């Protein structure tokens, strides 16, 4: 007598071959960008070790520093009084190089095989991250070494974002893109958390390992990428997604093969074109200025500039802020700062879910930015009054700050890169992603730089700068929010008219 099919096997068979491949690509690209962000985080954790108050630390017997020197245990050249400016220079060496390189990276990403481009970028990123940490073991104390390594690392890290967004965009349609990409985009926060925890293990003893270990992991992931990344569904005989399947577009394009009644179409994320594949000419990669002309690209790019300014200021300066204001140890400050990234995971998923439900990407971002401004003020004023309030406010601030950032860099970029004005040419996806994230990276460079310049005047002024950036980001979306409100009103009027028509026919 045979037993029934094992429940686990029944569960596995419930998913189609296409679904398994899509899930695999989603997981692989998640791990890829987790490694990218993991390798960026150690510098923010190690800052408090590069310059610290050594007055309570027992001096070694062979110490040659002055008895009044309270920074004798700091790492030269960051033991000077202008250490904040020097650390800011190290941050900005990476961020400025990243911002400049991002505009170029998207163009290369559309013209080179993604698998080679991405795996090569990860190997080089792992190398330069490790070289920064090797400065500890090689006893290097010159600023130019650390700045130069950060410049090269910033350039090679630009290979990551346009490539992974393009790859995911190639595999997934528009259906539930906001929700799926909201979950997927948690790789940013997961990478930050892992980077903080790994760096925290060695920050007090051998801080060089705080960079070497993430660097090695990133390089290994680059090899995995080379071995397993699949750029297009067609490469493994999977069906390609439809990026535009709305009723209006179907009516307007009834004569197109993809809209034929003989083609099987499904809604949501799994929407795919089931028509037989016919040979067609390869679409031409879009120009930089052509991508700028896509409706919404400029507004979302400028909004991301200010949103990313806030997010990256927290990324690079939050551990030091907690260390100085709440007087935690370097490891404790690093661990506590991960709660901001935990909030970022929640915020990214909520932003995607809400924007899918309302079909209002700009409005979702605008509301979260409006709420973020007073929360930043409250965190600075009351966040350090107790560990409980600090935990809650960090999570809420992380959700409200990183929610719009996550939505714009994922679902919005993919939407615009497959905009209906492109008439099916998905070659714009990498360039659009690079323009949006490259503009945002200018803000990412400005934020830590301004924090380094303003923080000597008091942390209150840093938070006023962050609140102002949030307000500006919100204002830049006003036109798009207005258009979304008009679209909602029009949709509501049509639904009301349909209901009335049905009532009269009865």
pLDDT score at 473 = 93
Kindly tell me if the per-residue pLDDT of 120 is higher than 60.
yes
User: Among all chains, which residue has been given the structure tokens 């390594």?
Assistant: 149
DSSP 379-418: HHHHTTS-HHHHHHHHHHHHHHHHHHHHHIIIIIHHHHHT
**How confident is the model over 230-253, as a mean pLDDT?**
66
Write out pLDDT tens, residues 11-32.
778 888 888 999 999 999 999 9
* Average pLDDT of the residues in 161-170: 84
Does the pLDDT value for residue 418 go beyond 60? no
Q: Is the per-residue pLDDT at 252 higher than 50? A: no
DSSP helix/strand/coil, 238: coil
- pLDDT band of residue 380 (cuts 50, 70, 90) is confident
Has this prediction a pTM greater than 0.85?
no
Average pLDDT of the residues in 135-164: 92
Query: What mean pLDDT is predicted for residues 330-350?
Result: 86
Residue 180: pLDDT band with limits 50, 70, 90: confident
Is the pLDDT at 428 greater than 80, yes or no? Answer: no
- Cis peptide, bond prior to residue 138, ω within 30 of zero: no
| Higher-pLDDT residue of 255, 352 | 352
Q: How far apart are CA 123 and CA 116, in angstroms?
A: 11
The whole-number pLDDT of residue 263 equals 36
Percent of the chain with pLDDT over 70: 81
Of the listed ranges 28-42, 218-232, 241-255, 383-397, the least confidently predicted one is 241-255
Q: How confident is the model at residue 502 (pLDDT cuts 50, 70, 90)?
A: low
Higher-pLDDT residue of 199 and 181 is 199
CA distance 188 to 348: 10
Torsion of CA 422, 427, 433, 436, to 10 degrees: -50
Report for 74-88, 105-119, 144-158: range of highest mean pLDDT: 144-158
Contact 65, 72 (CB under 8 A): yes
The pLDDT-based confidence of 289 (bands split at 50, 70, 90) is confident
Query: How many whole angstroms separate alpha carbon 365 and alpha carbon 407?
Result: 8
Give the model's pLDDT for residue 271: 39
Residue 373 has what DSSP assignment?
A: H
DSSP state of 21: H
Q: Determine the pLDDT at residue 283.
A: 54
pLDDT-based confidence at residue 69 (cuts at 50, 70, 90): low
Residue 249 has pLDDT above 60, yes or no: no
Given a cut of 50, is residue 262 above it in pLDDT?
Answer: no
Instruction: Give yes or no for residue 239 having a pLDDT over 80.
Output: yes
Query: What pLDDT does 421 receive?
Result: 55
**pLDDT over 60 (residue 391):** yes
Quick one: pLDDT at residue 389? 82
Query: What's the gap between Cα 436 and its chain centre?
Result: 12
Mean pLDDT, residues 427-439: 77
pLDDT value of position 16 = 85
DSSP lists the bridge partners of residue 272 as: 241
pLDDT at 317: 82
Q: Which residues are paired to 73 by β-bridges?
A: none
> What DSSP character marks residue 284?
P
**Separation of alpha carbons 87 and 146, rounded Å:** 10
Across 154-163, average pLDDT: 90
The residues near 313 (Cβ < 8 Å, ≥ 6 apart) are 447, 448, 450, 451, 462, 466
CB-hemisphere CA count at 13 Å for 489? 6
Average pLDDT over all residues of the chain: 80
φ and ψ of 265, to 5 deg: -120, 140
- First-residue to last-residue Cα distance in the chain: 58
């Amino acid at each position: 007598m045979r037993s029934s099919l094992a429940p686990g096997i029944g569960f596995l068979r419930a998913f189609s071959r296409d679904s398994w491949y899509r899930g695999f690509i989603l997981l692989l690209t998640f791990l890829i960008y987790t490694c990218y962000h993991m390798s960026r985080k150690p510098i923010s954790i190690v800052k408090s070790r590069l310059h610290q108050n050594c007055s309570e630390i027992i001096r070694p017997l062979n110490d040659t520093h002055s008895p009044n020197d309270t920074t004798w245990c700091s790492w030269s050249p960051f033991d000077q009084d202008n250490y904040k400016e020097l650390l800011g220079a190290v941050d900005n060496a990476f961020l400025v190089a990243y911002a400049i390189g991002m505009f170029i990276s998207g163009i290369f990403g559309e013209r080179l095989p993604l698998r080679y481009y991405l795996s090569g970028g990860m190997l080089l990123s792992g190398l330069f991250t490790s070289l920064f940490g090797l400065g500890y073991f090689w006893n290097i104390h010159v600023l130019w070494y650390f700045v130069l390594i950060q410049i090269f690392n910033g350039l090679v890290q630009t290979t990551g974002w346009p490539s992974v967004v393009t790859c995911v965009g190639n595999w997934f349609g528009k259906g539930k893109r906001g929700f799926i990409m909201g979950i997927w985009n948690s790789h940013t926060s997961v990478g930050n958390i892992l980077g903080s925890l790994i760096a925290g293990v060695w920050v007090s003893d051998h801080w060089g390992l705080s960079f070497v270990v993430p660097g090695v992991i990133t390089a290994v992931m680059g090899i995995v990428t080379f071995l397993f990344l699949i750029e297009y569904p067609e490469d493994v005989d999977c069906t390609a997604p439809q990026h535009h399947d709305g009723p209006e577009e179907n009516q307007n394009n009834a004569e197109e093969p993809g809209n034929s009644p003989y083609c099987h179409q499904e809604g949501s994320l799994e929407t795919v074109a089931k028509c037989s594949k016919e040979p067609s000419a390869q679409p031409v990669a879009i120009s930089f200025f052509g991508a700028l002309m896509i409706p919404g690209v400029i507004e979302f790019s400028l909004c991301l500039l200010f949103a990313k300014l806030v997010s990256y200021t927290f990324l690079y300066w939050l551990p030091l802020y907690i260390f100085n204001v709440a007087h935690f140890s370097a490891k404790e400050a690093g661990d506590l700062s991960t709660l901001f990234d935990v909030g970022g995971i929640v915020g990214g998923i909520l932003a995607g879910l809400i924007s899918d439900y309302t079909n209002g990407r700009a409005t979702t971002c605008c509301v979260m930015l409006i709420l973020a401004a007073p929360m930043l003020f409250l965190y600075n004023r009351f966040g350090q009054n107790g560990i409980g309030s600090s935990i809650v406010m960090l999570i809420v601030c992380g959700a409200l700050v990183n929610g719009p950032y996550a939505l714009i860099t994922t679902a919005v970029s993919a939407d615009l890169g497959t905009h209906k004005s492109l008439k099916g040419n998905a070659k714009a996806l990498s360039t659009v992603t690079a323009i949006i994230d490259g503009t945002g990276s200018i803000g990412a460079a400005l934020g830590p730089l301004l924090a380094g310049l303003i923080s000597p005047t008091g942390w209150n002024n840093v938070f006023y700068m962050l609140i102002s950036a949030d307000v500006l980001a919100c204002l830049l979306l006003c036109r798009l929010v207005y258009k979304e409100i008009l679209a909602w009103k029009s949709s509501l009027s049509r639904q009301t008219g349909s209901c009335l028509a049905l009532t009269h026919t009865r």
